[in-house]
Structure 1
Amino acid sequence: MSMKRAITLHQPTRLEIGAGTVAKVGEWAAGAQRTLVLTSGSVRSHADRLGLPGDVKLFDSIPPEPDDIALTAALEVAADFRPDCVIGLGGGSVMDIAKLVACLWDGAQSLADVVGPDKVARRLSRLAQVPTTAGTGSEAGIRALVTNSETRAKMAVESPHMRADLAVLEPELTFSLPPDVTAATGIDAMAHCVEAFTSLRAHDMIDGFARMGITLVGRYLRRAVEDGRDTEARNGMMLASYYGGICLGPVNTAAGHALAYPLGTQLHLPHGLANAIVFPHVLAFNAPVRAEKTAEIMAALGLGASSDSAKNAELAHEFCASLGIEMRLSHHGATEQALSGWAEEAHAIRRLMDNNPRDMSVADVRSIYAAAF
């Protein structure tokens, strides 16, 4: 029984959600002398809305899939600036880098020193997270992922020192997201909830957040895709993403994300898109051992649940494709020759694969890639 397992839940000290809440960032930062805003070029204009006091430095060179080289560049800027406050303004990649910069900019610890759980010694700067997408839920948690530039493997750092002092879910910051990005990041948020909900490490408390997140995706994702300025839908998706972020902490994801990572590091697909492509197939693969929960998921998304795994895959695939997501790997530059290597790479990500409710062999992984091809 999952209630027998003890869990620890970390959330931001303060959460603001709703239209207009971006103004809360400047209020929170009152008294700061030096504030470092980490962002990316596509959303850097939103920094003007934060109303920050004192000396403000903007670093907007964080790529969509940050590696250790990008982290080093951000740390060098921070070491020179010595910020009182660090603000992550952007998607999950930006917020992950912000967590690490807020803890490591003095150089006392390197990235290699802190990979894994509970190795970060302290926080150096106050930390605010302001997401501009509704997908990763990074603002809710204490984990950061960085790609090793040599091996292309994901390195995970987890520490309560990386918990945000403030998280602001401002729906208007997502208005400019194009429909395809809205759809893919929304499926990523849903995947966080679904994978935690069906995980071997599932917990009744986290199941509650997962259910709420999946229900919000079923209610609001299509509306957000069809009308990017639908404030209620954008608000609902930001909350769904936040709930997904909560799920990542004490439970985490499973095979779906393990299969998505090689598509990001090797094929350079955006993380949300990679998760969307494999989602229907992993959901169907796990359905035989999570029949009741699969039925709940399908119902929450407005789909007809089936005892036939192939039918579940078809319905979930249609759900994603109907949102405008190109679900065929072959249309994203994949080759059949690469599938076996990616399968071995995904299968080796044991920190996630070991959470999956049904054992998945290398051959199973390749079959899923082939089905998505």
Structure 2
Amino acid sequence: MSDYARPIGLCQPRFLDYGSGTVARLGPFVAREGHSRILVVADAYNAGRIGLLGLPDGTVVHGTLAGEPDLEDLAAALAVAAELRPDLVIGFGGGSAMDLAKLVAVLWPGEQTIRDIVGPDRVARRPSTIVQIPTTAGTGSEAGIRALVTDPATQAKLAVESRHMLADLAILDPDLTLTVPPAVTAATGVDVLAHCVEAFTSKRAHPLIDGFAREGIRLVGAHLKRCVAHGADAEARAAMLLASYYGGICLGPVNTAAGHALAYPLGTRHGIPHGAANALIFPHVLAFNAPAVPARTAEVLALMGLAPSTDPDEVFVLARDFCAGLGLDMTLAAAGVPRGDLAVMAAEAVAIRRLLDNNPREMTEADILAVYETAYEAVAA
């Protein structure tokens, strides 16, 4: 994990504005770039505060997104875009809105379908400028070149990776996150943590990315609990938004591993929000991987502000208590997952090789089922 000569590539948005009030810089960017056909992709809540963006009259808002995007959501957004023919697509919201905006920006001309571009480097071109404005500290989608959409027929996520989906401008204004409710703040914050930790402990971990991962973990450990307890804490909100961006950088050349692979069926099959699903799984996978990456596991705990340990049982308790201390439910039973679905979910998770192959320790279908069984009714903190 310290091979400095190993090749790696890193790309970030063309422009990045970070800090309180920076959303005001969007209007001048739009004017300077000469955009006139503007499409904003948002969830219903953020569609209702589109006035904060300072966009010109005639801007079209597609604000029907209600959860993590699926193929029907994509089709609806593409229909709007095909009529408008946008020269600028703005993702305004959480990772779902930003992922959908990326896909709309590359697919709206109809030259390719979503099936054509699933996988790495299959997007032919990007006809629209992309701006990403996160309103939660979670996915870090504004930093990356990946987008996910669920296929309802298979209940699996379709992953697209392309530099054509990289934002031309990302605006990280913590003021936009001040109203996020405590439960959502906690869940999305653990998603940030999972991005950084899974990249840091991955078989693909790299010194170029380790610095972002370490600082992201430290920022979450120091500031997430403050955000949950005091949503108007501007400093803590800004720190978490920066940590989220760092997590997004980690996703680019390294990506996540078993934690996300095990979390995905919870969302696609049972509608558990992505952050909450990751929080449920996070302590289990961190503990499972501890024997394979003991030094890095201990460092993760230390960066989180916890006692460093390499003992799997202790690692699990420390990580679980951290998540439970944020007010998160830490059992699958409490999340409403039927026990009879655990084996099916294990079969689905073990098939997500693009993530499981990154894990530092081999995880079989039986291992995954054992995690689900433990998580089903694990004793809460």
Please report the TM-score for the alignment, with normalisation by the length of structure 1. Answer: 0.98
What is aligned with 2:23? 22
Work out whether residues 189 and 244 of structure 1, in 8 Å CA contact, stay in contact via their aligned partners in 2. yes
Matches within 5 A, 1:89-128: 89-128=92-131
Work out whether residues 175 and 229 of structure 1, in 8 Å CA contact, stay in contact via their aligned partners in 2. yes
Work out whether residues 129 and 139 of structure 1, in 8 Å CA contact, stay in contact via their aligned partners in 2. yes
What displacement does 1:5 show?
2.2
What is aligned with 1:330? 333
Work out whether residues 295 and 310 of structure 2, in 8 Å CA contact, stay in contact via their aligned partners in 1. no
Matches within 5 A, 1:162-241: 162-241=165-244
Work out whether residues 35 and 54 of structure 1, in 8 Å CA contact, stay in contact via their aligned partners in 2. no
DSSP-derived class of the 1:87 partner = strand
Aligned amino acid, residue 6 of structure 2: R
Matches within 5 A, 1:14-53: 14-30=15-31, 31-53=34-56
1:188 and 1:2 map into 2 onto residues whose CA distance is 27
Note the alpha carbon deviations across 1:352-372, whole angstroms, 9 max, x for none: 000000001111111111111
Matches within 5 A, 1:354-373: 354-373=357-376
Note the alpha carbon deviations across 1:30-55, whole angstroms, 9 max, x for none: 13212111001122233111111242
Work out whether residues 297 and 310 of structure 2, in 8 Å CA contact, stay in contact via their aligned partners in 1. no
Moved more, 201-210 or 59-68: 59-68
Matches within 5 A, 1:265-304: 265-304=268-307
CA RMSD after TM alignment: 0.9
What displacement does 1:334 show?
1.2
1:22 and 1:371 map into 2 onto residues whose CA distance is 44
Note the alpha carbon deviations across 1:299-325, whole angstroms, 9 max, x for none: 111111223201110110000000000
Alignment of 1:251 onto 2:259: no
> Which consecutive residues of structure 2, in runs of 5 or more, have no partner in the other structure?
377-381
Aligned amino acid, residue 33 of structure 1: S
Moved more, 50-59 or 185-194: 50-59
DSSP-derived class of the 1:358 partner = coil
Aligned amino acid, residue 68 of structure 2: E
What is aligned with 2:13? 12
2:215 and 2:312 map into 1 onto residues whose CA distance is 24
2:176 and 2:48 map into 1 onto residues whose CA distance is 10
DSSP-derived class of the 1:93 partner = helix
> Which consecutive residues of structure 1, in runs of 5 or more, have no partner in the other structure?
none
Alignment of 1:84 onto 2:87: yes
1:55 and 1:159 map into 2 onto residues whose CA distance is 30
Note the alpha carbon deviations across 1:103-160, whole angstroms, 9 max, x for none: 1111111111111111111111111000011010000000000111210111111111
What displacement does 1:67 show?
0.8
Work out whether residues 32 and 53 of structure 1, in 8 Å CA contact, stay in contact via their aligned partners in 2. no
What displacement does 1:186 show?
0.4
DSSP-derived class of the 2:64 partner = coil
What is aligned with 2:308? 305
DSSP-derived class of the 1:60 partner = strand
Note the alpha carbon deviations across 1:228-276, whole angstroms, 9 max, x for none: 1111100000000000000001000000000000000111100000000
Aligned amino acid, residue 3 of structure 1: Y
Moved more, 38-47 or 181-190: 38-47
Corresponding residue pairs, total: 373
Please report the TM-score for the alignment, with normalisation by the length of structure 2. Answer: 0.96
Alignment of 1:134 onto 2:107: no
Work out whether residues 347 and 361 of structure 1, in 8 Å CA contact, stay in contact via their aligned partners in 2. yes
DSSP-derived class of the 1:332 partner = coil
Aligned amino acid, residue 80 of structure 1: E
Identity of aligned residues (%): 58
Work out whether residues 46 and 173 of structure 1, in 8 Å CA contact, stay in contact via their aligned partners in 2. no
Note the alpha carbon deviations across 1:46-101, whole angstroms, 9 max, x for none: 31111112420011012321111110110010000111211000110110110111
DSSP-derived class of the 1:4 partner = coil
Runs of 4+ in 1 over 2 A off after TM superposition: 1-5
DSSP-derived class of the 1:356 partner = coil
Aligned amino acid, residue 72 of structure 1: A
Work out whether residues 280 and 330 of structure 2, in 8 Å CA contact, stay in contact via their aligned partners in 1. yes
1:156 and 1:63 map into 2 onto residues whose CA distance is 20
2:207 and 2:153 map into 1 onto residues whose CA distance is 39
Work out whether residues 34 and 54 of structure 1, in 8 Å CA contact, stay in contact via their aligned partners in 2. no
DSSP-derived class of the 2:290 partner = helix
Aligned amino acid, residue 362 of structure 1: E
What is aligned with 2:63? 60
DSSP-derived class of the 1:15 partner = strand
1:307 and 1:94 map into 2 onto residues whose CA distance is 38
